Each structure stands twice: as C-alpha cells, then as structure tokens.
Amino acid sequence: MQEVKCFLGSHVRADKKAAFMKGKKWRFKAKQPCKKGYKLVELPYMEIIVYIPILFFSIVLHEFAHGLAAYRLGDDTAYLSGRLTLNPIAHIDIMGTLVVPAFCYLFGMPLFGWAKPVPVNPLRLDSPKRDMGKVAAAGPAVNLVLALVLVLIMKIVILTAATASAGVEQALVFLQYGVLINVLLAVFNLMPIPPLDGGNIVTSLLPVNASIRYQAVFGRYGMYIVLALILTGAVKYILLPPVYLILNALNKFLML
C-alpha cells in the first residue's frame, strides 16, 4: 500500500515517539512525497469493509450540511421532507451511493460517490441567488472540516500512544481513510459542473445573464459530463492535483 505510506507520512520528533516508531512496520513513517503516478487508494478486500462505512457516513454528513444550511437561510423544504436527518436510509441514492462506488472499486479508481440530493427551494431563501451558493458550499466545507478534525485526532493518537500496537495502527488506518475520503468528496463536489456543488457555487457568483447561460448548457448536460469523466477515468486527472495539494498541507500539519 504505497499510497498509504505517502499520505500523511510522519516522523514524530519526540524521543518517546522515536522509540515508539523504532523497529516497527509503521504506515506513517515514509517521508517521501506523493507522486502523481501513484494510485490514490488501493484497498485489500478486508479493508473495503472499513472504507465503505466511512464513505457512506461522509456522504450523509455532506447532504445533511446542505439541508441545515438551507434551513438556517430560511428554507425548511429539507426539514419537511424528512431529509434534515443523519439517518443514512433517507439519503441513499442508487447511482451515487451504490453503483458509482462499486464501479470505482472494481476498476481501481478512487472511491467516491454521492447521496440523494437534499431538496432546496430557492424561492424560500432570503436571497435566492446568493444563498444557493452558500447552501452548495456547505457540503464540501463540512467534508474539509471533518478531514481536519480526523487529522487532529490522528495527531493526538500518535502523541499519546505508548506502543505501536495493532489496535493503535488500525485506528490510525481508519482515521486515515476518513481523511482521504472527505478530501476526495470535497474536491469532487467542487468541480464547476452542475448539478455538483461547484456548479451551483459558480452560478451564484456569475452575473444573472451569465448564470442563466451557464445553467442552460451545463444544467442540461452536466450529469452526462460527470458520468463520462468517471467512466473514462479522466476524473482522476481533475481530482488528483487539488487532492494531493490538500493532503500535503494536512501532512505538514500532522508532522508539526
């Protein structure tokens, strides 16, 4: 698992931690930078059991953030529809939650997906055009915040663990997957193609006439473009540069 060693690689500087690392086959000890030629994630069959629940929870939290942002900005459509909940059943989308992750796994692509979009009525928002951008940004923002929180937890575990036990190592791998998944989800959803969040953010920032033309083109064909990027594998060339940039920044924080 070369990519696991390069992502969030860390040498802990304290003497106690140096002894903790010494002689152990430690997943976070490699200091080499991530290279573009590496696959982002490569999962053994057993570890997919850990990866999928993290992916699912992160997607659900993403959609919950959309609903909560809309609710606070004046639209209670998600609440009235029973979607302002962390209950995963309410957010399952056959294509995004089941089919796409399975396809990505089978063909060795980075695992990602999406949940059923939370219903939002722009006319009920205080400032429809501006607030739709805020609602769209809430999902990726929550994923990035969650990734940062998980890195903080990783740092605490590394600094407080006395030995590199199997339990500690598995906990760190679990947290590591959580960071990776949430960064992937944030970057994927920020692609400026409707119906992804990035497309709605761009629409909210453009002048009215330009946003109408933008939606007229990408609103009609956006989903087909996204699926084509996924099916051809071209999506990785869009996702990997910003993903590596964010992961390297988190890596530097972990190494402090």
Task: Report the catalytic residues.
Answer: 63
The position carrying tokens 């609440």 is 79
CB 69, CB 138: distance < 8 Å: yes
| CA distance to 63, 119, 148, 210, 225, per residue, from 219 (Å) | 20, 16, 32, 13, 10
Reading the block at residue 7, the tokens are: 């992502």
Reading the block at residue 222, the tokens are: 């956006």
Amino acid at 176: Q
Reading the block at residue 188, the tokens are: 């994927």
Half-sphere exposure of 140 (CA within 13 A, CB side): 21
Query: Residues with Cβ < 8 Å from 238, sequence gap 6 or more?
Result: 191, 229
